Structure formats: C-alpha cells, structure tokens
Amino acid sequence: MQIHRSIRLSLGAFLAAALLCAFIAVARPAAAQQPYHVIDTWKLGGDGGWDYLLADPPAHRLYVTHGARVEVIDTATGKPVGAITGLHGTHGIALDTAGKFGYISDGGGNAVIVFDRATLATVATIPAGTNPDAIIFEPATKTVWAFNGRSKDATVIDAAAQKVVATVPLPGKPEFAAVDGKGTIFNNIEDKNEIVRLDAHTKTLTATWAAGCESPSGLAFDVAGARLFPVCDGKKMAVVDSNSGKLLATAAIGDGPDAAGWNAAAKLAFASSGDGILSVVDAGNPGYKTIQSVATQRGARTMAYDSGADRVYLVTAEFGPRPAATPENPRPRPAIVPGSFSIIVVGR
C-alpha cells in the first residue's frame, strides 16, 4: 500500500509539474504580446535642440545628440555616464562593429567627429560635406557614410585610415539611411520622395526608386524580409521591397514623423511622430495594420529601438507658445522650455 501511495504521489507531482510547464509555455507568448506603453521618463535637462539617437544594446548605452554635444546614457539606470562635447551642432551617431569607435555627424562644423567609446574622448575630426546629417557604419567595407543635407551628397570615410575616400553625389536632400550588412546602403531623398540604393564596395548609386509617400524621413529596414519602411508626411509609412523597389503597402501612422524602428523578433515596425504618437505596425501579417498608437509626448518625433531590451527611446522637451508666423518664417517653432529635455522609455 505504501508503494502504491508513493507512486500516486509521484504521479501527482509529475502531473502538477507538467501543468506548470504548460502554463508557462502559454504565458510566455502572451506576455510577449503585451501592449507597449510608457514605462519611464528620464529627465536630463540642459538646453538646445536634438536630432537622432542610437541604442547600443550590448553595452547598455544610449547616445543622444543634443545641441553641441552627444549625451551618453546608461539604459539600465537612465543616468548619464558622460558626453562628447565641444561640437557645433550634432545630428547623428554611428558605431563600428568592433566596439571601439563611434562617429558623430557634426552638422554645424561640416565634419565627422570620431570618438573612443571607452573614454568618450574625441580622437579625430574629419571634414565632410555641407551639414552632414544622417550617418551610418557599413560593416562589409568598414566605411562610414555621412549624408550631407545641404551639399546633397555622401562623404565616405575609411574607418581604419580615418580619412575620406569618396564623395558620392545624390539626387536630392538625404535623410536617414540603413544597411544590409553586405555592402548595400539605402537612403531616403526627402525633397524628391525617393529612396536611393548605394553600393559601398564601388561607392556608386545603383538605383533610385519612388518612396511610396511624400517627404520620407525616418527609415527602418527588415533585412531578413527585404523590406524598407520609410515614414512620411501625410501620416503614412510605406513598405518597399528592398530588392526591386516595388511598393508593397502603406500603413497609417502619426502626424509629423521623423524616425522609424524595426523589431525583428516580433516583426513590428515603429514610427515616432511630432504629434506625440508612437505607431506600432504589424508587419508579420497581411495588411500591415497599425496595432497600437502609443501616446508619448508632443515633439517626440525621433526614436531609437533597443533590440536587447525590446524598448523604444524617444526624446523631446516641453515647449512654450508658438510664435506668430512671418513672411520670413512662415512656420516658426515654439521655444523649448529650459531644462525640460527628457527621454521617454516605451516598453512592455
């Protein structure tokens, strides 16, 4: 009888363990599908405007352009760990794949600033075109591409030699860029409503395609699925085949977008907009439905996606009243409230 009782107890324990495993297996996907929401706000303060920001998931760092400096934030704590200073008007950041150097497009100085990622010390200043804006590291050729907004070209820098090796003319004003890791680069041409494809090996433009929407700015890239996601005026995100340039679909997003992101694991595309909406688009199913419109804060139109933490970081500040329009400035921007510069953290 004691043996039978032990068997019954063992069987009961086994069944309980099996049920627990089944529950966990069901619960995990359910948790992964929880909606995104604002989970924190990091108050950084300071004055000046901002542009791009970039997450470095392995190092748990976030690089944020902020006026004449780049803020470096510990994403585990939300606290600043340092800054790259002495710049003129920063736009974007790129990081090499070796974990050694970073690159800043210093638009106000018409230069690319190279910094040591361990010490944050500037190690080189490399002349670029006029007003370098978007910047990206191309890993197959180990080159840095700075896209110059006013001279409408791209400055190509050999990362090892830290010198300019080419200048590639572009058909219009470049915006954000994306790479496939094999030597192909894509860039939005904002004033022509186009996307260009560039060959990093030959340093030439190889294709020009319609973006599928007006004034494309931010650009996300599903490398595995060969899909580009430019975000545009008119509350639209286009979906473009990166092999053929064919427009596959358009999705509804917020108003005044300036950046985009891609969650490869969940097949979600993000768009951050100046109206204070982070749009989440389901790119894993037909229809490209916008499954969330997360309320963030007015002005939070630039973002970075952290694939390690599945978080979106957005930057903004508080604004005063908008000045009256004038013939010289028909679309004046409201003044930034001093000390209100913040990073909004969205997760699930």
H/E stretch holding 12 reads helix 2-32
pLDDT at 225: 98
Residues of the chain with pLDDT under 50: 1-31
Per residue in 163-187, pLDDT (tens digit) is: 999 999 999 999 999 999 999 999 9
Number of neighbouring beta carbons within 10 Å of residue 46:
16
Query: What whole-number distance in Å separates Cα of residue 145 and Cα of residue 295?
Result: 34
pLDDT at 333: 77
Distances (CA, A) of 37 to 40, 86, 115, 311: 9, 36, 34, 10
pLDDT at 193: 98
Query: What whole-number distance in Å separates Cα of residue 214 and Cα of residue 58?
Result: 35
Q: Kindly write down the DSSP assignment for every residue of 175-211, as one continuous string.
A: EEEEE-SSSEEEEEEGGGTEEEEEETTTTEEEEEEE-
pLDDT at 21: 47
pLDDT at 62: 98
The backbone torsions φ and ψ at residue 70, rounded to the nearest 5 degrees and listed phi first, read -120, 120
Per residue in 283-319, pLDDT (tens digit) is: 999 999 999 999 999 999 999 999 999 999 999 998 8
Residue 313: what residue type?
Y
pLDDT at 177: 98
pLDDT at 284: 97
Query: What whole-number distance in Å separates Cα of residue 128 and Cα of residue 51?
Result: 18
- Three-state DSSP at 246 gives coil
Residue 247: what residue type?
L
